[in-house]
Structure 1
Amino acid sequence: MRRLGLVLLTALLVGTTGCAQRGSTTPPGVLNVGQISNSIAFFPLFVAEQKGYFTEEGVKMGERPRLGTGAKVAAALKSGSIDLGAGVLTDALNLARIDDKGRLVANLVDRYYVDVVVGSSFAGATASDPLDQRVRALRGKKIGITGPGSGTEALVTYLFAKVGMNSRTDCELVNLGSTAASALGALKAGRVDALAFFQPIAQQAAAAGIGTRYISPAAGDVPGLERTAHGVVFTTQRIIDKKPQEVAAFQRALERAQRHIHAADPTEITAMLTAYLKGIDPKALTELPALMRTEIPETIGFTRTSFDTAIAFHRTTGLVKHLPAYDQIVPPALRIGGAG
């Protein structure tokens, strides 16, 4: 499955190479920004839109497609149908593997915000048992992920490798797409035993009474992944060169949004989350404002420590070959010192 995911991503990107060289297709002052889905990582974009920050900073948002997978976001970026892509670092690294002009634009989440959730009838180690016991309890189980080559698959691959298991042979990975409702439905119906999915999947499963959070890197369950670049906005140097003012305005607006998430009253953030995550059970929102303040940084830059942790993670999973250096993919203005 891992090989298939890389083949599909390569086909999508290489197949669009012919039209990639034309760069942006949007008029001056406009950016088309695609994203995988409405997960927690991309909430700052929603905040910036709702608060009018993009307009105030001098850039207009054009098309805002939800493309379902990181591979599709990267392919749309490569083809010129979008200018910026919001995904996970895995997507940006895969793009850099194909195109050495791939660049990071903003750090959205600097914790690994994929959780493993198990169904209510799951038999095995409990959520309070040591991590290695929990991972081994997933042997032979059906685990729902968004798709091959994704950050959700990457977490399963990483956890299994840490205890000497192989996710290709020691479990069955089930591709469910990026829609949380579909994933929760599969868990409830017993089509999968567990989910490796983007937040707030654990909160939604608990609110529905169908599952519990089992392993959460963002909560400190996985040593070494306490702080790592994960949710990102990325593009190519061609777009940065063609639309420098628009990209800079986008970055200023996004940083304002991320600071607002930290400073605003939790009731305002909850109301905005209700609009963003349409149809979500209100009970699933209770802990999200505080959770996001631990995961979403107040600045959009990347520390070398956080980046290097992410690179080590991807080297372990083997999902991305030819990993780029910090100085290659992180523009100078986004390089910040310290551990973050």
Structure 2
Amino acid sequence: MQRRDLLAAGLAAALPAWGYAQTLEKPKVTIAVGGKNLFYYLPLTIAEELGYFKAEGLDVNIVDFAGGARALQAVVGGSADVVSGAFEHTINMQFKGQPMRAFVLQGLAPQIVLGVNPKTMPSFQSVADLKGKKVGVTAPGSSTHIMLNFVLAKAGLKPSDVSVIGVGASNGAVAAMRSGQIDAISNLDPVITLLQRSGDLRVVVDTRQPAEAEKVFGGPMPAGCLYAPVPFVERHPNTVQALTNAMVRANKWIQRAGPGDIIKVVPESYLLGDRAVYIDGFLAAKPALSPDGRIPPKGAQTAFRALASVDEKLTAAKLDLNAVFTNAFVEQANTRYPKG
């Protein structure tokens, strides 16, 4: 009986791939991401490394860029189909007349930390002190840049009051802070935890905790997600469903996983040479990762307010915020994989 049960379980696990292989409109999908090693995108890596995409009949190619803005450019330019990126880009793209739709969430909160360099700003008192300073972001136009602008606006500063420098999301960002090339940084884990551990960062704003993120943004601020041009989503519903299924399974696996489980799955390069720091970063980021892929209904309004605070043209725009996301695929995925 035990052997029969194991065989049955194996057959059940294989069924999704057989079923979807016949109906997928586009089995080969290219996903563009900006900073794949970040915990912000951990569900994407887990889905890839644990074979969840393959289980859905998908052949997924993930292309990594220096930041979310560049990943978005890849989809706009046609070299990728889907973006694994920040939710707020869907709002900006509708405003630009190139509508995008998010269909599965990776992050409940932005996980972005704004901190200053203790070496170059030892007398830092408030965000207003950043005027005239050099601030590192993953890439200009990315979510780290958007949050920086939002925090500056709340302090009465304009985006042009600081010099923004793209430093990436890995060792280059760490080196830029430690060498004093930048006075502050808007970045994510594991970069942030690595800088904290070495005393090269003083945290000013921390959105790794969903409650703190809601205080900063005034509501739920959805973060990493999979999104694509609306025509792609509408023409490839089975493909989008398969992508969503894989991501929801990854989300749920992460919620059950301990640091040791994560270490075994992610590529060695993600650890930035220090496993202990990576573990600390995972524990700090885990509360901000989505447990089930659902996008909070009020999230689009929060993201719009944040963007509008630094873009007067957006403030006056009449956008359909319900069109920038859907939970329809996520609901089906949670029904299909209630336990991941």
Task: Give the TM-score of the pair, scaled to structure 1.
Answer: 0.79
Out of 141, 146, 151, the residue aligned to residue 154 of structure 1 is: 146
Pairing 1:300–2:293 present: yes
AA matched with 2:324: I
Cα 1:29–1:222, aligned 2, differ >3 Å: closer, same or farther?
closer
Aligned 8 A contact 1:104 1:329 in 2: yes
Q: Which residue of 1 aligns with 2:47?
A: 48
AA matched with 1:328: A
Offset from partner CA, 1:84-112 (integer Å, 9 cap, x none): 11111233323323345421122111212
Q: Which residue of 1 aligns with 2:176?
A: 186
Cα 1:207–1:335, aligned 2, differ >3 Å: closer, same or farther?
same
Q: In the comparison of the two structures, how many residue pairs are matched?
A: 301
Out of 258, 261, 265, the residue aligned to residue 272 of structure 1 is: 265
Offset from partner CA, 1:108-165 (integer Å, 9 cap, x none): 112122111222323224xxxxxxx431232332211233322222222211211222
Q: Which residue of 2 aligns with 1:329?
A: 324
Pairing 1:316–2:309 present: yes
Question: Matched residues in 2 for 1:107 and 1:190: separation?
Answer: 35
Question: Matched residues in 2 for 1:261 and 1:141: separation?
Answer: 38
AA matched with 2:77: S
Cα 1:320–1:218, aligned 2, differ >3 Å: closer, same or farther?
farther
Q: Which residue of 2 aligns with 1:237?
A: 230
The secondary structure found in structure 1 opposite 2:254 is: helix
Q: Which residue of 2 aligns with 1:227?
A: 220
Question: Matched residues in 2 for 1:234 and 1:327: separation?
Answer: 14
AA matched with 2:142: S
Question: Matched residues in 1 for 2:109 and 2:203: separation?
Answer: 16
Cα 1:56–1:323, aligned 2, differ >3 Å: closer, same or farther?
farther
The secondary structure found in structure 1 opposite 2:64 is: coil
Aligned 8 A contact 1:74 1:95 in 2: no
Stretches of structure 1 that go unaligned for 5 or more consecutive residues are 1-25, 126-132
Residue 297 of structure 1: how far off its partner (Å): 1.0
Q: Which residue of 2 aligns with 1:207?
A: 197
**Pairing 1:101-112 to 2, within 5 Å after superposition:** 101-112=99-110
Residue 319 of structure 1: how far off its partner (Å): 8.4
Aligned 8 A contact 1:46 1:276 in 2: no
Whichever of the two has the greater Rg, that structure is 2
Stretches of structure 2 that go unaligned for 5 or more consecutive residues are 1-23, 332-340
What is the identity percentage for the equivalent residue pairs of Structure 1 and Structure 2? 19
Out of 151, 157, 163, the residue aligned to residue 165 of structure 1 is: 157
Pairing 1:60–2:52 present: no
Residue 274 of structure 1: how far off its partner (Å): 5.7
AA matched with 1:146: T
Out of 255, 260, 281, the residue aligned to residue 288 of structure 1 is: 281
Offset from partner CA, 1:157-216 (integer Å, 9 cap, x none): 2112112222312x322232x242112111111111111113222201123443243321
Aligned 8 A contact 2:39 2:282 in 1: no
Aligned 8 A contact 1:202 1:212 in 2: no
Aligned 8 A contact 2:28 2:59 in 1: yes
Cα 1:156–1:35, aligned 2, differ >3 Å: closer, same or farther?
same
Cα 1:192–1:289, aligned 2, differ >3 Å: closer, same or farther?
closer
Cα 1:324–1:270, aligned 2, differ >3 Å: closer, same or farther?
farther
The secondary structure found in structure 2 opposite 1:58 is: coil
The secondary structure found in structure 2 opposite 1:260 is: helix
Q: Which residue of 2 aligns with 1:175?
A: 166
AA matched with 1:252: N
AA matched with 1:300: G
AA matched with 2:163: E
Question: Matched residues in 1 for 2:263 and 2:130: separation?
Answer: 34
Cα 1:276–1:260, aligned 2, differ >3 Å: closer, same or farther?
farther
The secondary structure found in structure 1 opposite 2:291 is: coil
AA matched with 1:307: A
Task: Give the TM-score of the pair, scaled to structure 2.
Answer: 0.79
Question: Matched residues in 1 for 2:272 and 2:152: separation?
Answer: 34
Cα 1:233–1:28, aligned 2, differ >3 Å: closer, same or farther?
closer
